[in-house]
Structure 1
């Protein structure tokens, strides 16, 4: 379940996971997305120039066709190739970057924005494909007019491509901190994506393999997000959250919570999940 609220000048989306963990995101506004788009267009334009001169060089090698001048023949090749590669580059740039760069393009990374699913999870290739296939419709009739009007008319600032793919664009970082006294654990997700955490070293296994198998990638996401933000949390809040999350994981596995530091328990769970090949 997700809820939407306005805090100050920013729109915040709260997503409640089945584990009773609340992931919070600041929804990206039209202004920040427009700046990110401008940066992306600068990058694309630079590639366009390289592409154009490359096609010109190729066209100069085109053999003469009887009844036509070399210039006429070359001009048709240049035009056809330029139109084809222009579409391929424009569409492919956004789709491939978002699919394989964890929901970001160059512009989005500079502006600290990211595309995620409505559920708060990382988008897949198919979501990236779907949202960018409709980019041409959002652009109509010019300057993304359809997209801007659509974004203004909904609270999550979604364009048509976002509705089709079930995605939204959020800010990567937030300033708010988790609340200590609340009914559910709150994790402020800078990306809602798995983070690299320091359990590359040997970590003891605290739970049997069949118990670990009851957890899924969303559970690992929760643990990773906690470790990514724990140094920013007050010690009391950090300890409370670690204990609460560890307890939820133990309950889901049908196991008693081991004694000891709950952060080490979470570390062990993540280590075992990755060791079983079920991690990210």
Structure 2
């Protein structure tokens, strides 16, 4: 089926528009992921055959190394989608290459519980053979959801690329002038997930207005925005001077921009 536009209203009353990922792109991403898993499983089996040369131990008549190999294959296949989708912004390797990702129905990043549920239900979606239930669901559902998405409250959408700009904006020039980059502020994944669209819009507005304000008003706004956003990072900003606060907020702007600044 063709891509469908999905309108999402976030808990912060921000309207977002996405293109739901259809059967073609999802199948292509799944095939890539399966090939990676196949290669990984082959490597695990080869390790068992060629590397494990110690005397084979048996437990109730079962080869212990063979049992460990089977468990490793099972854990790898079961954990691959669950771990990557949660820790890498709803993207497995296949999804990243195809430009799609899993998000919550409210527009937020996928949660740990949702990732677990949608990938647990994958067992049902794969029945009876060749992912038949999942394919039928994705093809006929208006938002291209499989059963796991329905239960977990998730949706797979196309990434929205940043609109190319003909000239560099004032804030981009200022960031470059200050020689700032995302590497200047290390943010762990859990802290990053605490930010939402409302935070991004606040930070974007602040960054775009920053250089237009008088110094006194600029410092005041910087303190206010830092007071709202920095507690989510666990940063004690009380000892920072105004210039350090500005730099830190601009670095945070660069980091959140990758997650939130996109256009259809």
TM-score calculated relative to the size of structure 1:
0.60
Match of 1:107 in 2: 94
Q: 2-side partners of 1:270 and 1:41: how far apart?
A: 44
Match of 1:39 in 2: 32
Q: Quick check: 1:277 aligned with 2:256?
A: no
Deviations 1:149-189 (A, max 9, x none): 1122311111111111110100001699xxxxxxxxxxxxx
Q: 2-side partners of 1:102 and 1:109: how far apart?
A: 10
Is contact 2:57-2:64 (8 Å) kept? no
Q: 1-side partners of 2:22 and 2:114: how far apart?
A: 20
TM-superposed deviation, 1:273: 2.6
Question: Which structure dedicates a bigger proportion of its chain to helix?
Answer: 2
TM-superposed deviation, 1:78: 5.2
Q: 1-side partners of 2:225 and 2:123: how far apart?
A: 42
Match of 2:73 in 1: 86
Is contact 1:115-1:123 (8 Å) kept? yes
Match of 1:54 in 2: 47
SS at match of 1:10: coil
Deviations 1:106-147 (A, max 9, x none): 000001111000111001111111100111111111111010
Q: Quick check: 1:220 aligned with 2:220?
A: no
- Cα distance change on mapping 1:87 and 1:274 into 2, 3 Å: same
Q: 1-side partners of 2:227 and 2:75: how far apart?
A: 42
TM-score calculated relative to the size of structure 2:
0.63
**Aligned partner of 1:133 among 120, 139, 149:** 120
**How many residue pairs align between the two structures?**
200
Q: List alignment gaps of at least 5 residues for structure 1.
A: 1-5, 177-197, 202-215, 228-241, 247-258
What value does the CA root-mean-square deviation take over the aligned residues?
3.6
- Cα distance change on mapping 1:158 and 1:200 into 2, 3 Å: farther
Match of 1:251 in 2: none
